Homo-oligomer: A and B are copies of this chain.
Amino acid sequence: MSTPQKHTISALVENHFGVLCRISGLFSSRGFNIDSLSVGETEDPTISRMTIVVRGDDSVLEQVVKQLNRLIDVIRVIDITQGKFIERELVLIKVKADTSTRSEIIQIAEVFRSNIVDVSTFSMTIEVTGNQDKVTAIISMLSIFGIQEIARTGTVALLRDSVPK
């Protein structure tokens, strides 16, 4: 079986955290794997935007999105993957580093246009933003030094206006 296609779902919801459980629960119960999830305020503080990256059957997903749109507290759910979109994720990576490896790590950080946000005698912490492929690539490059901790925000996404709808 081929790997199920990844979908990025963007949901505008009332700012109650019960709705978070109902939405993520609906995906889990239909057999979707949730790759990442993030929730943050929008321009209106009573409304939050959830972005969920899931993998699973395309036709089932369409049903789930329809079902979500009927839930109380859900304002709008769209499968953003159907259009052209910008997707970004932020990751903090703490990697082992000493005097012998520090300059090599700095070089890798520069190539990925990432920022070094902390340094100690035994570690460095790097902040990187990009799509999932870029994040995966830098993690793989840094893993040879020994990754101590990672904190990923999960993907957020907005539709592009610069392409014809």
Contact = CB atoms under 8 A, between A and B. Distances in A.
A42 B160 CA distance: 29
Interface string A86-123: 10111110100000000000000000000001111011
A142 to B, nearest CB: 10
The size class of the interface chain A forms with chain B is: 35 or more
A36 B153 CA distance: 11
A133 interface: no
A162 B94 CA distance: 12
Contacts of A150: 40-43, 49
Given A20-B37, A51-B151, 14 more contacts: A20-B20, A35-B41, A36-B40, A36-B41, A39-B154, A42-B149, A88-B90, A89-B90, A90-B90, A94-B158, A94-B161, A118-B160, A125-B161, A151-B156
